[in-house]
Chain A
Amino acid sequence: MSESETNKEPHITVKDLTMAYGSFVVQHDLNFEVNRSDIFIIMGGSGCGKSTLMRHMVGLKSPAKGQVLYEDVNFWEAGPEQRDLIMKNIGILYQSGALWSSMTLAENIALPLAEYTDLTPGQIREIASLKLALVGLAGFEDYYPSEISGGMCKRAGLARALALDPDILFFDEPSAGLDPISASLLDDLILELRESLGSTIVVVTHELASIFAIGNNSVFLDANKKTMTATGDPKKLLEETKDPELRKFLTRGKG
């Protein structure tokens, strides 16, 4: 992951995906590609299935129909070892942080390192401190999640997602519940990480400011039609779209 080149090779491909809880279909026939080093936005109104799509992409929920491909590997048909390998290469920031509440921030970050690397406890501690410094939380190693603010929890969650230097990062509503300044700082941080690490980043959000500030590719899920109605650069979508739903979404109902 040393050099980041913005070539258009697909990193994650979603093919004919239908997602359902039991017989309740959330979205059907999704087709899109996430390219390497993209900041890819999954957008749509509340309850349209954004988090559900993310859960399908990271391997937490199996599709009712269709495929999720990582490069050329079909995730849901791969063997357990291959799946583990893919999942190890994914870092996830959950909607509510999902930090383990009985561990300090440093221990939260240390857990994946201790599980998957041969580092000594001293080295793990150093890397945990480093990751916290990267997200602006230097010195907060020994705090418990309940002792820091919501914005700091999000940042610590991000530090944990970065623990294993993943190639792909998923963020579920990173700026929800943050003040505008913290939210835009977090957006900057996401951009910085893409620039320096060259990771592929998938962001679930409905914050217009973030969508236009960071996204260079996207998919729009329509809650009424229960399928995607557009994919591509959100700025271009805003200029070109004729779909009234998407136009309403991208202009806050004003256009």
Chain B
Amino acid sequence: MEAEIKNTSESCELSFDRPAGDTLLVRLKGSWTIEQKLPSDEEVGRQVEADPAIKQIAFDAGGLSGWDSGLLSFLTKIINQCSAKNISVNQEGLPEGIRKLVQLAFAVPERKGARKEALRESLLSRIGASSIAAGQSSLDTFNFIGEASVVFLKFLVGKAHYQRSDLILTIQQCGVQALPIVSLISVLVGLILAFVGAVQLMMFGAQIFVANLVGIAMVRVMGAVMVGIIMAGRTGAAFAAQIGTMQVNEEIDALQTLGISPMEFLVLPRMLALILMMPLLCVYADLMGVLGGLIVGVGMLDLNITQYLDQTRAALNLSSFFIGLFQAEVFGVLVALAGCLRGMQCGRSASSVGDAATSAVVTSIVCIILATALITVVTNVLGI
């Protein structure tokens, strides 16, 4: 019996021969590399199944001109098939190099229990698992907030360990270096508010009230909210990425084993920096917003500068100003906590650092909006 399967590609061939009753001789010819379309091991399986007398498989690689993993993969599959069917494989006809590789591939048996089974879980157990995870994560969050408060108290009584240079560097990064972007955004927000207001107010000839609108809006809410959102994107994400990368490199573990609390050493300076800088940035944003309004007022509505500034000063009172500052302070704490929390929760891979940064920004922006709503309602009820 002789069967020959020629492959479409000219340069690799598989054929069979029966030199003895119980032996199947597999002839390999040509170049067996992964660039070729290699024959499947099924061909051999079919030969074996066709004749139950076959008890041994041998190889003739006399015509083999080249090989790589393609042939190796083919051979390991044949060997696996044969050992399942109790057929012996005689490798003597194979080149020396590939015999060694086959040996190597079977040298370390698969460790039992290593392979991960793809579990199909029922809907109910998945719901259960995710609720447990959600519970655990909110517990973690509260834990973190608790620890942060303890560390802050420690700082107040002067017992916290952190590096002053680290604090000053962070202050520079989230203070001075944020000024350009805060200027740009605040001026533009001031401009936009003034434009939108002017269109309505001009109908009543009440252009001058653009100053009230811009002044109150910026100082009471928008200044703080815009700074909060800018800092969430700029600084919160940076905190999460920094601390997350330290987590990946086992730097946090190194701090802990030295007895240095990462909460004091990493989280505290970042929190302090934002607590110190946010109100200042907020005041700056308020001024820039008023400047934006002024540009529209003077350029488009023919108001003069003193008139506009007088009107603004008359419209504002100290309580609006302090409400704005208070909000900025709250946002600062929220952004710092969200950034550091997500960084500390980071896993050990590059993609989890990305996830940490994303989730820090999302968390802080959601918290900022919720806090704004809450503060607005409360001040309304209290009548301030």
Contacts and interface: CB of A to CB of B under 8 A. Distances in A.
A188 to B, nearest CB: 10
Interface string B71-102: 01100110000000000000000011111110
A2 interface: yes
A160 to B, nearest CB: 13
A146 B106 CA distance: 26
B116 interface: yes
Contacts of A100: 350
B51 to A, nearest CB: 27
A253 interface: no
A127 B34 contact: yes
B108 A192 contact: no
A140 B110 CA distance: 9
A185 B35 CA distance: 32
A117 B96 CA distance: 26
A102 B351 contact: yes
Interface stretch (A39-47, A52-60, A175-183, A193-201): A193-201
B15 to A, nearest CB: 19
A127 B107 contact: no
B131 interface: no
Interface residues of B, number: 39
A8 B334 CA distance: 68
Contacts of B99: 196
A192 B69 contact: no
Given A102-B349, A131-B69, A196-B101, A138 B108 contact: yes
Given A102-B349, A198-B97, A192 B104 contact: yes
Given A139-B111, A143-B116, A197 B348 contact: no
A145 B349 contact: yes
A2 B100 CA distance: 12
Contact of A139 (B65, B115, B248): B115
A139 B73 CA distance: 16
Contacts, number: 90
A133 interface: yes
B153 to A, nearest CB: 35
A119 interface: yes
A182 to B, nearest CB: 12
A146 B347 CA distance: 9
Q: Which of A1, A101, A192, A196 has the most CB of B within 10 A?
A: A196
B67 interface: yes
Given A127-B69, A131-B69, A138-B108, A144 B349 contact: yes
B64 interface: yes
A130 B105 contact: yes
Nearest to B101: A196
Interface of A is mostly: loop
Contacts of B351: 101-102
Given A2-B64, A144-B349, A146-B347, A195 B114 contact: no
Interface in B205-258: 248
Contacts of B104: 134, 189, 192, 196
A136 B103 CA distance: 11
A115 interface: no
Interface in B333-379: 347-352
Given A102-B351, A146-B348, A1 B100 contact: no
Nearest to B70: A127
Contacts of B34: 113, 117, 119, 123, 127, 165
B109 interface: yes
B45 interface: no
B227 to A, nearest CB: 34
B68 interface: yes
Nearest to A113: B34
A80 B69 CA distance: 27
A192 B105 CA distance: 11
Q: Which of B97, B98, B111 has the most CB of A within 10 A?
A: B97
Interface string A121-151: 0010011001101101111111111100000
B108 A136 contact: yes
B67 A2 contact: yes
Given A1-B68, A196-B97, A142 B116 contact: yes
Given A1-B68, A101-B349, A118 B97 contact: no
Nearest to B114: A139
B146 interface: no
B93 to A, nearest CB: 14
18 contacts: A1-B66, A2-B67, A2-B97, A3-B97, A101-B348, A117-B34, A127-B69, A130-B69, A130-B72, A130-B73, A130-B76, A133-B105, A136-B108, A138-B108, A145-B349, A146-B348, A195-B97, A196-B100
Interface of B: 33-35, 64-70, 72-73, 76-77, 95-101, 104-111, 114-116, 248, 347-352
CB-CB nearest 5 A-B residue pairs: A101-B349, A102-B351, A136-B108, A146-B348, A196-B100
